[in-house]
Structure 1
Amino acid sequence: MKQKIFIADDHPLFLKGLKGFLEENNFDVIGEAPNGELALKFIQEIEPHLAILDLDMPGLSGLEVAKMCHEKEIQTKIILLTFHKESYIYQQAKSLNISGYMTKDFDLEELLDCIDLVSKNETYLNEKILPENLSGKLNDKPVNLTPTEIKIIRYIADGLTTKDISGILFIAERTVDKHRSNIIKKLDLDKKHNSLLLWAQKNKEIIY
């Protein structure tokens, strides 16, 4: 029995190519949509085995569609496709029991591997999302962090921005940035963009 798959993406050429590839590999593409609202409507009515959704779509994002399906306990397994490699977005997807999360620069064979694992009730995470070359190691506990720095790194792990943290702690944004710089120095992280965010995401279990 062919596995029934629904696909949604706001780029017509990508959607057409994805449909053709899936059908060539013996999958039954039973529907497609150019935006999140139509995708949600179809999934709610049909409940296909699997839905492959673009994360960034007009109306509702793939993540918002997944959230609503999760709240309504719809059993359709969802794979998100995206250009975003930030781990905090993956953490949001993980909290919604997303079955697969892949960047759009995937190899076609990789998508088949992802579908195969998802069909076996396993999850698939594209290895490009969580870089391994961070200076902070998984088992290293943060040392010499002040109580405020610990609060800030927890907020960062939850995906909050400098502006968000500033509002919560009632301190200036430049003060938050100063704390971030101090944390990066204490953890001996690279100074490149998002290094602290990625470290915090990978090490949540030792900062809470």
Structure 2
Amino acid sequence: MKQKIFIADDHPLFLKGLKGFLEENNFDVIGEAPNGNLALKFIQEIEPNLAILDLDMPGMSGLEVAKMCHEKDIQTKIILLTFHKESYIYQQAKSLNISGYVPKDYAVEELLDCIELVSKNETYLSDRILSEKAVVNTGIKPSNLTPSELKIIRYIADGLTTKEIASTLFVAERTIDKHRSNIIKKLDLDKKHNSLLIWVQKNKEIIY
């Protein structure tokens, strides 16, 4: 019986290539999505055997999709593809019961082995991730941030959404959004979606 697989990535060429690669290897790709929101909707409705998700996607990241699936007790096994090789990001994924974590630039070499292990209810972690060390990508220190802003990026590091942070701090979501905008400006980050999340993941060791 073929594995029923769902795939999601915001790069059309990569998504097309991934679908072709899986179908050539006798897997049944039953759906695809260009962002995290559509991915979560599909997984909730269909519950495929396996979902292969890009970590960085518009709307919701692969980790955020996995977090929602974990909270809703959805049985779909999730494999994350990413260019991030830092081991501490995997630790966050592990807490959400991610079944596999594969570097995107080595997907062709490793993905089939990953799927095989995951299909046996085992976990696959690329050796390339364990060999990497987190690299701080900016000289800007959290000391530039106010206590409230620092608290918020710590919540982000713990995987909380804007809504969850607002609820925890008993403030409106728009207040958290304003803080996030100020933090992004102070850290001189791109204004694209997930830029702050990526910075937090890469600098996690200096924000606590």
Per the normalisation by structure 2, the TM-score is 0.65
**Matched residue, 1:42:** 42
Q: Which amino acid aligns with 1:128?
A: R
Q: CA RMSD in A?
A: 2.6
1:163 aligns with 2:142: yes
Specify the SS of the correspondent of 1:53: strand
Structure 1 gaps, min length 5: 134-160, 171-193, 198-208
Specify the SS of the correspondent of 1:78: strand
1:63 aligns with 2:63: yes
- After superposition, the C-alpha distances for 1:3-33 in whole angstroms (9 at most, x for unaligned) are 0000000000000000000000000000000
- Counterpart-to-counterpart distance in 2, 1:64 and 1:100: 15
Structure 2 gaps, min length 5: 134-139, 151-201
- Counterpart-to-counterpart distance in 1, 2:28 and 2:132: 37
Structure 1 residues 1-208: aligned runs within 5 Å: 1-131=1-131, 163=142, 167=147, 197=205
**Matched residue, 1:182:** none
Q: Which amino acid aligns with 1:53?
A: L
- Counterpart-to-counterpart distance in 2, 1:68 and 1:29: 22
Per the normalisation by structure 1, the TM-score is 0.65
**Matched residue, 2:177:** none
Specify the SS of the correspondent of 1:106: helix
Divergent runs of 4+, >2 A: 164-168
Percent sequence identity over aligned pairs: 81
- Counterpart-to-counterpart distance in 2, 1:132 and 1:58: 26
- Counterpart-to-counterpart distance in 1, 2:40 and 2:109: 27
Larger gyration radius, structure 1 or structure 2: 1
CA distance 1:132–1:47, change in 2 (3 Å) = closer
- After superposition, the C-alpha distances for 1:63-118 in whole angstroms (9 at most, x for unaligned) are 00000000000000000000011222111100000000011111524110000000
Specify the SS of the correspondent of 1:121: coil
Return the offset for 1:44.
Answer: 0.1
- 8 Å Cα contact 2:85-2:132 kept in structure 1: no
Return the offset for 1:162.
Answer: 5.2
- Counterpart-to-counterpart distance in 1, 2:141 and 2:113: 38
Instruction: Indicate the structure with greater helix content.
Output: 2
Specify the SS of the correspondent of 2:17: helix
